[in-house]
Chain A
């Protein structure tokens, strides 16, 4: 078949290209620009080559932040995914309970990040916070400002509170798509509750779970606002994750070069992980 060859079609993509250029490509290029130069302000730049990259990759501080970030992502995934599945399994499938549960589940997702941070910042305070005060009142010494373990617990509980709903909603969507006949057949086959979960529900949720893990991993790997509002990265550096570290470097110390190099490394890591997830997911789809 003859296809009409018409270069004018490019004009139709132009608006998108311009938009993407201004929103993503140009800012990214600015960062690249900073990452290979040194500046003392006044728009005076010196060529620095790969110096900043070498500095970042050899910096203990960077790897420590990266390590904390990975541990954080791992912990919240380990809690949110099983908890999300558990809640989704126990949510009602019909009746008035469905909208009630769905709205309750969606609420935390609708709250702006920094508000979530503020809520928990106040909630956890040991002097006036509802939680912080009563936890201390029952004899547990809890103070997220002073104790790094307490800070970690607070940040993790906050993330679980904020984001488990996402896993729940995704799993629930997977669960309600299972036809009744599957459960009936399982009854006929004499399957136990565990077998029903293992051989019917889990396989049907597999795909949405993969998406949930991807989203939660990416998000927690880039987390900034909530821990920043609650702990500001402290006490010490104990809750300083990559993005907080980045902002400290760029705006706190005004080390634009190292910060830019760090941004690019950070960006590449996320790009790589996204690619890995994408490949796994498409392979999984192809297998089906």
Chain B
């Protein structure tokens, strides 16, 4: 296990990158602590797989340094870095048996056969394929194949880190949940450093202690699931995490009041700085629908099971609110913003509010 320092790494797939947009990874500077479980969350094409491949050594970065426990490994091969990685689509050696597939990475490293046998059997139990050990890997289903891929990542105990590149994409939802909790358990038991790439927020939030949100080649926020939810640092995080995402509306700020059209919204504190395009962000969970507050017109109510999602229009802007399963939309609906959920953004980045006087 190792602490992984990503030191001002930039990467471009072009031979001569000139401008910022040529870089798939603009500049990433972050430390993955030893034994941490991290999720890299972001939309497709945001550079998360690039970052992962740089860590594993499948890709050498254009600029910057990569350190494992303080040792520079930037130019070392995957093999020398001793990393395990699981890919999005199952990679199996289909002429081998399930057992041999798992033994393969160990045999390549000349681990003694007795030790291999012990590790492979242990891993087979873990991924629940013990009964299939002697079968050829060829005829298995997609999720069994992916379990083998996972198993090959987990079978080596001495790795510096285990990297997962959207490993559960091909697996059906129930199995996904089971495997994810198994991974989490493994993490607790053995303390591997794990980095898990995904574009699925549920997966990221349930797997990781720390979620690294990436957007357009940059890390926009690193935090616990609660932090990402309550205090998104960037409008993208607010929008990307949560279902539905955060509501944003352009406002003009005047001291402790944000003006949206004719409405004045009381802020929990005055912003420390208020320059650039200001936006107010509030999660649907903090929008209270009732008989007092600002008048809205409701356009659609979606019942998603546990609760209802109300889509309304406030001052010409769409706004979503969460309503309890048994609550009704009032005849003359009005909304109020819970001050605890109000965030203010200047040019897409969150500004702190001076909350000393308020909530």
- Which A residues contact B (CB, under 8 angstroms)? 179, 181-182, 184-185, 187-192, 195, 199-200, 203, 287-288
Contacts of B108 in A (CB 8 A): 189-192, 195
**Min CB–CB distance B69 → chain A (angstroms):** 20
**Min CB–CB distance B156 → chain A (angstroms):** 9
Contacts of A287 in B (CB 8 A): 138
Which of B57, B85, B139 is most buried by chain A, counting CB atoms within 10 A of its CB? Answer: B85
On whether the beta carbons of B95 and A184 are closer than 8 Å, the reply is: no
Which chain A residue shows the least CB distance to B165?
Answer: A181
A185 to B165, CA, bound (A): 12
On whether the beta carbons of A189 and B87 are closer than 8 Å, the reply is: no
Contacts of B277 in A (CB 8 A): none
Our pick among B78, B93, B94 for the contact of A188 (Cβ within 8 Å) is: B78
Our pick among A187, A188, A189, A203 for the contact of B95 (Cβ within 8 Å) is: A203
Asked if B89 CB lies within 8 Å of chain A CBs, one says yes
Our pick among B87, B105, B109 for the contact of A181 (Cβ within 8 Å) is: B87
On whether the beta carbons of B79 and A187 are closer than 8 Å, the reply is: yes
**Min CB–CB distance A241 → chain B (angstroms):** 36
Asked if B152 CB lies within 8 Å of chain A CBs, one says yes
A181 to B108, CA, bound (A): 18
Which chain A residue shows the least CB distance to B85?
Answer: A188
**Min CB–CB distance B309 → chain A (angstroms):** 38
Our pick among A181, A189, A191, A203 for the contact of B94 (Cβ within 8 Å) is: A203
10 new A-B contacts, CB < 8 A, other than A187-B78, A188-B58, are A179-B91, A184-B85, A188-B83, A188-B105, A188-B153, A189-B152, A190-B105, A195-B104, A288-B138, A288-B139
Contacts of B78 in A (CB 8 A): 187-188
10 residue pairs from A and B, CB less than 8 Å apart: A184-B85, A185-B152, A187-B57, A187-B77, A188-B85, A188-B105, A189-B108, A190-B79, A203-B93, A288-B139
A288 to B136, CA, bound (A): 10
A195 to B104, CA, bound (A): 10
Chain A binding site: helix, strand, loop or mixed by DSSP? helix
Asked if B149 CB lies within 8 Å of chain A CBs, one says yes
Contacts of B138 in A (CB 8 A): 287-288
Asked if B235 CB lies within 8 Å of chain A CBs, one says no
Contacts of A185 in B (CB 8 A): 85, 87, 91, 149, 152
**Min CB–CB distance B190 → chain A (angstroms):** 18
Asked if B96 CB lies within 8 Å of chain A CBs, one says yes
A287 to B91, CA, bound (A): 19
Which chain B residue shows the least CB distance to A202?
Answer: B95
Contacts of B109 in A (CB 8 A): 190
On whether the beta carbons of A199 and B105 are closer than 8 Å, the reply is: no
On whether the beta carbons of B93 and A187 are closer than 8 Å, the reply is: no
Asked if B88 CB lies within 8 Å of chain A CBs, one says yes
On whether the beta carbons of B84 and A179 are closer than 8 Å, the reply is: no
**Min CB–CB distance A64 → chain B (angstroms):** 41
Which chain B residue shows the least CB distance to A200?
Answer: B93
On whether the beta carbons of B89 and A179 are closer than 8 Å, the reply is: yes
Our pick among A182, A189, A288 for the contact of B104 (Cβ within 8 Å) is: A189
A18 to B83, CA, bound (A): 66
On whether the beta carbons of B105 and A189 are closer than 8 Å, the reply is: yes
A190 to B95, CA, bound (A): 18
Which chain B residue shows the least CB distance to A195?
Answer: B108
A214 to B153, CA, bound (A): 39
On whether the beta carbons of B89 and A181 are closer than 8 Å, the reply is: yes
**Min CB–CB distance A231 → chain B (angstroms):** 43
Asked if B56 CB lies within 8 Å of chain A CBs, one says yes
On whether the beta carbons of B152 and A199 are closer than 8 Å, the reply is: no
Contacts of B85 in A (CB 8 A): 184-185, 188
A200 to B96, CA, bound (A): 10
